[in-house]
């Protein structure tokens, strides 16, 4: 099964580790900032949200050391995963 995360990008659902709201990572929480920095240092970052317009809503972590920055909200991605046949959606 695949999940469309925006801008013609599909990811195999079995490879998704986590979908995180980018708003939560931009807050003044030191733990969140450190977590995001480590992820971005270790993996390949693929920005499909066009950060110039500050359109990022989700960060999708994939088990191939890839991080996607998506313009689609985590709630919408969850609903899409449920609608695509995953009985409980992504958690």
∠ Cα 52 67 81 (to 5°)? 100
Look at residue 88 and tell me if it is in a domain: no
Q: By residue range, what is the domain housing residue 8?
A: 2-83
Residue range 61-72, pLDDT digits in tens: 888 888 898 999
Number of domains in the chain: 1
Look at residue 72 and tell me if it is in a domain: yes
Nearest of 72, 49, 63 to residue 12 by alpha carbon? 63
Look at residue 24 and tell me if it is in a domain: yes
d(CA 90, CA 78): 6
Residue range 10-66, pLDDT digits in tens: 999 889 888 888 876 655 677 777 777 777 788 788 889 875 557 788 889 888 888
d(CA 78, CA 85): 12
pTM of the entire predicted model: 0.77
Look at residue 91 and tell me if it is in a domain: no
Is 17 or 88 the better-scoring residue by pLDDT? 17
């Amino acid at each position: 099964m695949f999940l469309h995360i925006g801008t013609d990008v599909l990811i195999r659902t079995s490879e998704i580790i986590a979908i995180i709201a980018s708003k939560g990572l931009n807050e003044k929480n030191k733990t969140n900032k450190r977590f995001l920095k480590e992820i971005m240092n270790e993996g390949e970052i693929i920005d499909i949200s066009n950060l110039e317009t500050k359109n990022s809503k989700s960060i999708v972590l994939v088990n191939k050391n890839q991080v996607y920055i998506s313009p689609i909200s985590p709630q919408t991605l969850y609903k899409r995963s449920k609608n695509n046949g995953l009985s409980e959606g992504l958690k």
